[in-house]
């Protein structure tokens, strides 16, 4: 597909996912040679209409240069004129107009043998997207460290319970089995990781680990940073992810493993730099902002000798892993004691507003942009980021059909 047509589809992905009727258009796309029967089967294997529409758009982007005109023709043949007009205007074929796109109320037909329709197959992993339709989708472990031992010289993390409550509700809404652990010491963090990793994840499609704690800088081969137990010692993020690799958790091989870290990556404060006025949006200035940091650790925080190489020879060790950090390595992460952390607040909002239409990578870019616009005490900034070793797009389940 030509780059300009791919950009049009990406720009109007939300409209297409909201309003497109894949059941009406698949036969036309097959007859015109746009899709093969296997591709049609892949689309029809999705459970909801939205998922079918999303898969259809993703598949279109992978096809040749003549696909876009054929797609527009199929839309018109199936009376989906509003969508055809919207996309054609994006191609410069008409004057830009505001085209209202309303979701169709036509229900998806229920395939049956008696109707002569191919029965829907069990949804399978695809080349473009991870399979994410298990129920529950997977386990989501949240470690919420709030009250730290006085001997640790770490302050209590006021406002973290707000973050924890938001994320617990959000991932339950995304159909995860959520487990919340509070105030874990160093050894208990490691024990909890080992316990979750030893569970049988065969029936699940994903695993999520969220850690809300103080953090510090720690250099490792893949994933920098470390998080503190409430007693003071820190667990390297690389060690945390290693519990879930192919050697230690075979039932998660080939499945996405997501880690969200709300903690400092060091003690450096970012004062930002000047940009043109149109690059800056109104920012929130919190009088109760605190940091999730202590001075840089002098220890060499490395993996123990008991950590072995990934046993799966066909995939690299860090494959199917994404670690999302609340801040750039070496810098502090800000938390409002009354409203929770900047990162979690925006992560929760973006997931709520966009999980039904956008993939995780796109949503994390939205989080990055939103957090980058905020200032602490009118001066300090924060820049989230992620190390993404996923091999495919990841779309969460949504209650919207």
**Omega before residue 136 within 30° of 0, cis:** yes
Residue 186: predicted pLDDT:
96
Look-up: residue for tokens 């009250």?
A: 147
pLDDT for 339: 79
Q: What is the helix (H) or strand (E) element at residue 61, kind and residue range?
A: helix 49-61
pLDDT at position 265 is 45
Query: In 3-state terms, the chain is what percent helix, strand and coil (to 5)?
Result: 35, 15, 50
Distance, CA of 167 to chain centre = 13
pLDDT at res. 45 = 85
- Tell me what pLDDT residue 167 has: 97
pLDDT of residue 65: 79
Residue with tokens 């690799």: 245
Gap between the Cα atoms of 225 and 177, Å rounded: 27
Q: Which residues are catalytic?
A: 214, 264
Please report the pLDDT score of residue 322 as a whole number: 95
Residue-range domains of the chain with CATH: 3-90 (1.10.533.10), 138-388 (3.40.50.1460)
Q: Which residues of the chain have pLDDT under 50?
A: 95-123, 265-285, 287, 294-314, 401
Strand ranges (DSSP E) for 307-393?
Answer: 321-325, 334-336, 340-341, 375-376, 385-388
Q: For residue 248, which of 200, 303, 308 has the smallest C-alpha distance?
A: 308
Of 389, 282, 335, the residue nearest 166 (C-alpha) = 335
pLDDT digits over 96-112, tens only? 444 444 444 444 444 44
How is 123-189 classified by DSSP, letter by letter?
Answer: P---SSB-----SS-EEEEEEE-----GGGT----TTHHHHHHHHHHHHHHTTEEEEEEES--HHHH
For residues 238 and 226, give the distance between their C-alpha atoms in angstroms, rounded to a whole number: 8
Q: In b/e form, how buried is each residue of 335-348, taking b as 16+ CB within 10 angstroms?
A: bbbebbbbbbbbbb
Q: What is the pLDDT of residues 45-90, one digit of tens each?
A: 888 888 889 889 888 888 887 889 999 999 999 989 889 888 888 6
């Amino acid at each position: 597909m030509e780059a300009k047509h791919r950009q049009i589809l990406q720009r109007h992905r939300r409209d297409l996912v909201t309003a497109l009727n894949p059941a009406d258009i698949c036969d036309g796309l097959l007859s015109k040679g746009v899709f093969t029967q296997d591709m049609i089967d892949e689309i029809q294997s999705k459970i909801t209409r939205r998922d079918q529409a999303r898969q259809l758009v993703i598949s279109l982007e992978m096809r040749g240069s003549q696909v876009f005109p054929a797609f527009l023709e199929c839309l018109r043949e199936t009376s989906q004129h509003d969508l055809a007009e919207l996309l054609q205007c994006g191609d410069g074929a008409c004057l830009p107009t505001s085209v209202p796109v309303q979701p169709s109320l036509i229900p998806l037909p229920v395939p049956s043998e008696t109707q002569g329709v191919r029965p829907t197959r069990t949804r399978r992993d695809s080349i473009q997207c991870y399979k994410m339709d298990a129920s529950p989708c997977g386990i989501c472990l949240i470690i919420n460290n709030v009250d730290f031992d006085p001997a640790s010289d770490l302050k209590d993390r006021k406002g973290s319970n707000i973050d924890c409550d938001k994320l617990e509700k959000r991932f339950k809404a995304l159909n995860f089995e959520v487990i919340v652990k509070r105030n874990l010491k160093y050894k208990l963090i490691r024990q909890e990781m080992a316990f979750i990793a030893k569970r049988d994840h065969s029936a699940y499609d994903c695993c999520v680990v969220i850690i809300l704690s103080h953090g510090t800088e720690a250099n490792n081969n893949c994933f920098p940073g470390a998080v503190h137990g409430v007693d003071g010692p820190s667990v390297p993020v690389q060690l945390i992810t290693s519990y879930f690799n192919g050697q230690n958790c075979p039932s998660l091989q080939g499945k996405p493993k997501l880690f969200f870290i709300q903690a400092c990556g060091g003690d450096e404060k970012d004062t930002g730099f000047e940009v043109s006025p149109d690059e800056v949006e109104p920012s929130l200035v919190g009088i109760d902002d605190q940091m999730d940091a202590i001075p840089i650790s002098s220890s060499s925080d490395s993996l123990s000798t008991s950590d072995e190489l990934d046993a799966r020879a066909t995939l690299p060790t860090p494959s199917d892993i994404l670690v999302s950090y609340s801040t750039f390595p070496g810098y502090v992460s800000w938390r409002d004691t009354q409203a929770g952390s900047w990162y979690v607040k925006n992560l929760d909002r973006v997931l709520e507003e966009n999980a039904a239409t956008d993939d995780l990578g796109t949503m994390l870019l939205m989080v990055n942009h939103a957090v980058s616009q905020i200032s602490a005490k009118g001066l300090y900034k924060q820049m989230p980021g992620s190390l993404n070793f996923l091999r495919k797009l990841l779309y969460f389940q949504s209650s919207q059909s």
